[in-house]
Structure 1
Amino acid sequence: MTFSIVARCAQTGQFGMAISSSSPAVAARCAFARAGVGAASSQNITNPALGPMMLDAIATGATAPEAVARARDADGYADFRQLIAIDGAGRTAIHSGARALGIWTSAEGTDCASGGNLLANDQIPATMVKAFETATGSLGDRLIAAMQAGMAAGGEAGPVHSAGLLVVDKQAWPYAELRIDWLDDACPIEALARAWEVYRPQADDYVTRALNPGDAPSYGVPGDE
């Protein structure tokens, strides 16, 4: 009931992921990224503990394949899980358990990996990887492009209702963390794209406000001088 992509920007060192599902608030349970370490998704029949477990393993020297294997083996319910990770070298790994839901598949590319379950067809992850690899712009731009391509190729077997974008840069907190937790009759991926369009020009300013408020630009709100 989910399709997602994890990725790295080789130029900036940012990591991120984007995800969508028919379930509510999918990014709250499935999206994980850590500055200087990597990004990971724990999806299908979700165990949110596995995302931090994979990132902890990478942070202590494991490769993405090793991190995914450790989380898979530690969980005890590997047949139900779909795990995806990318590390600082751009290595990727995916585990899809035999009891993943519906049509499930995955694809790996340069600095990215995608996976999904309960899909409309088995080409969705490959389409998303290709879209990411050919898109231009920032990491967030390319992740959004991948999600839009996945949706255009069929997306989930039924309607999707939530989506999320998570990008980390150099700080311990997210560079961008945008979520559409539930929409009844509109596409959450397009709503997420619009949220990113609004947030993107201000993202660096929010970092400046945290690190050096004296250099922060105007807040652009009534009463701000």
Structure 2
Amino acid sequence: MTFSLLARCPETGRFGMVISSSSPAVAARCAHARAGVGVAASQNITDPALGPALLDALARGRSAPEAMAEVTAIAPHIQYRQLLCVDAAGRTAHWSGERILGTWGVAEGDGAVAGGNLLAHDGVPAAMVAGFAAARGDLGDRLVAALRAGRDAGGEAGPVHSAGLLMVDAASWPVASLRCDWLDQGCPIEAVARAWDVYAPQMAAYVQRAMDPREAPSYGVPGDE
């Protein structure tokens, strides 16, 4: 019921992920990232606690494969879960339990990993990795390209209704957290892509306003001088 891609940008050190699903508010439950540490996804009959657990293990100095082994060794009902992560060195890891729903697949690339379940076919994650590798621009642009590539390769077996993009940089909070939590009609992936198009040119200004509003550009609201 989900397909996602997680990645680290080697030029900026940013981590990010994109995800889409037939379920509502998928990014609220499944997308996790921590600046300087890594990015993790917990999907397929999701336990949202497992994303932070993976990030905690990475923060303790575990590599992505080590963190995955640590978490999957002790997590309850792990046979129902699909987990993905990328660490600060760009190493990747994934887990898919034997009770994963429907057709599932995973694929790894350079600093990126994609996975999904209830897919149209098991090649969807590989298409996402290829789309990410071929794309140019900011990490957010490449993540959107990956999500579109997954959809265009067949995506989920049924229609998707929610999508999200999450990205962290140097700040302790996400520099981008864009979500479409439910659409009955239309494409939530395109809704998130449009939100990224609007937000991306302003992202640095919002970060500056948080860090030091005295040096921030105009706020762009009525009454701002």
TM-score by length of structure 2 reads: 0.99
What amino acid maps onto 1:165 in structure 2? L
What amino acid maps onto 2:126 in structure 1? A
1: CA distance between counterparts of 2:159 and 2:89?
Answer: 35
Partner of 1:16: 16
What amino acid maps onto 2:50 in structure 1? L
Give the share of equivalent positions with the same residue, in percent.
65
Runs of 4+ in 1 over 2 A off after TM superposition: none
Partner of 1:32: 32
| TM-fit CA distance, 1:149 | 0.5
TM-score by length of structure 1 reads: 0.99
2: CA distance between counterparts of 1:52 and 1:69?
Answer: 15
2: CA distance between counterparts of 1:107 and 1:197?
Answer: 27
2: CA distance between counterparts of 1:120 and 1:104?
Answer: 9
2: CA distance between counterparts of 1:138 and 1:56?
Answer: 27
2:71 matches 1:71: yes
Q: Deviations for 1:71-130, whole angstroms, at most 9, x for unmatched residues?
A: 211212121000000001110001001110000010000010000000011110000001
2: CA distance between counterparts of 1:122 and 1:193?
Answer: 24
Unaligned runs of 5+ residues in structure 1 are: none
| TM-fit CA distance, 1:210 | 0.7
1: CA distance between counterparts of 2:15 and 2:168?
Answer: 5
2:172 matches 1:183: no
2: CA distance between counterparts of 1:44 and 1:69?
Answer: 18
Partner of 2:164: 164
1: CA distance between counterparts of 2:67 and 2:2?
Answer: 21
Unaligned runs of 5+ residues in structure 2 are: none
Partner of 2:148: 148
Partner of 2:44: 44
Partner of 2:102: 102
1: CA distance between counterparts of 2:69 and 2:156?
Answer: 26
Give RMSD over aligned pairs.
0.6
2: CA distance between counterparts of 1:175 and 1:211?
Answer: 12
| TM-fit CA distance, 1:134 | 1.1
Q: Deviations for 1:42-89, whole angstroms, at most 9, x for unmatched residues?
A: 000100000000000001110101111112112121210000000011
1: CA distance between counterparts of 2:69 and 2:147?
Answer: 26
